[in-house]
Amino acid sequence: MSLSCRILRPGFVPYLEGELQPGRAGRLERHLAGCGECRELIERVRAGHETGRRFGRLRADIPPRFPAFEELGAGRPARRGFWPAVAVPALLSVAAGLAALLVISGGGSPLRSRSVKADRAFTPLAIREFTTNSKNRIVTEGYVHNVYYDKEERTLHIKLAEGPRDTEPFVICEIRDASGLTIPREGSRIRVYGTARFDAQPGRGWHEVNPVMEIAVLNR
Amino acid sequence: MAWLDTAPGPDYSGAVAPEYSPEETMARIVPGDRDEDLILAARRGDEEAFREIYRTYREPVWSVILSLVGDPVQAQDILQTVFFKAFRGLAGFRFRSALFTWIYRIACNDCRNHLRRRAVHEGPLEDILGSRYEADDTRGPDRPRTRADAIKSAVLALPFKMREVVILKYQEDLSYEEMSRILGCPPGTIASRLNRALAELETRMRRIEGRP
Residue range A107-130, pLDDT digits in tens: 333 332 323 333 446 788 899 888
Do both B108 and B144 map to the same domain? no
Domains in chain B: how many in total?
2
Q: Which of residues 8-67 of A touch B (CB under 8 A)?
A: 9-13, 41, 44-45, 47-49, 51-56, 58, 60-66
**Which domain range does residue A14 map to?**
3-57
Contacts of A71 in chain B (CB under 8 A): 51
Look at residue B14 and tell me if it is in a domain: no
- Interval B154-194: pLDDT, tens: 999 999 999 999 999 998 888 898 899 999 999 999 999 99
> Which of B123, B139, B164 is at the close of a domain?
B123
Angstroms from B209 CA to nearest CA on chain A: 13
Q: Are residues A39 and A72 in the same domain?
A: no
Q: Answer whether B205 touches A (CB < 8 Å).
A: yes
Report how far residue B110's alpha carbon sits from residue B81's, in angstroms, rounded to the nearest whole number: 8
pLDDT classification of A48: cutoffs 50, 70, 90: very high
| B209 against A95, higher pLDDT | B209
The reply to whether A158 touches chain B by the CB within 8 Å rule is no
Task: Give just the sign of the alpha carbon dihedral B113, B52, B183, B196.
Answer: positive
- Say if residue B138's pLDDT is above 80: no
Q: Which residues of A touch B89 (CB under 8 A)?
A: none
Tell me how close the Cα of A45 comes to any Cα of chain B, in angstroms.
5
Q: What is residue B111's predicted lDDT score, i.e. its pLDDT?
A: 95
- The H or E element spanning position A13 is helix A12-16
Report how many Cβ contacts below 8 Å link chain A to chain B.
Answer: 193
For residue B143, what are the domain limits?
125-212
- Averaged pLDDT for residues B20-43: 58
Domain match, A124 and A214 both: yes
For residue A150, name the pLDDT band (cuts at 50, 70, 90).
confident
pLDDT confidence bin for A21, thresholds 50/70/90: confident
Q: Is residue A75 located within the same domain as residue A124?
A: no
Written as one letter, the residue type at B129 is L
DSSP secondary structure of B80-125: HHHHHHHHHHGGG--SSS-HHHHHHHHHHHHHHHHHHHHHHHS--H
Give me the number of domains chain A comprises.
Answer: 3
Chain A residue numbers with beta carbons less than 8 Å from the beta carbon of B170 are 52-53, 55-56
User: Is the model's pTM score more than 0.90?
Assistant: no
Range of lowest pLDDT (A71-75, B52-56, B157-161): A71-75
My answer on whether A16 and A94 are in the same domain is no
State the average pLDDT over residues B31-58. 80
pLDDT tier at A168, thresholds 50, 70, 90: confident
Say what the pLDDT of residue B34 is.
Answer: 67
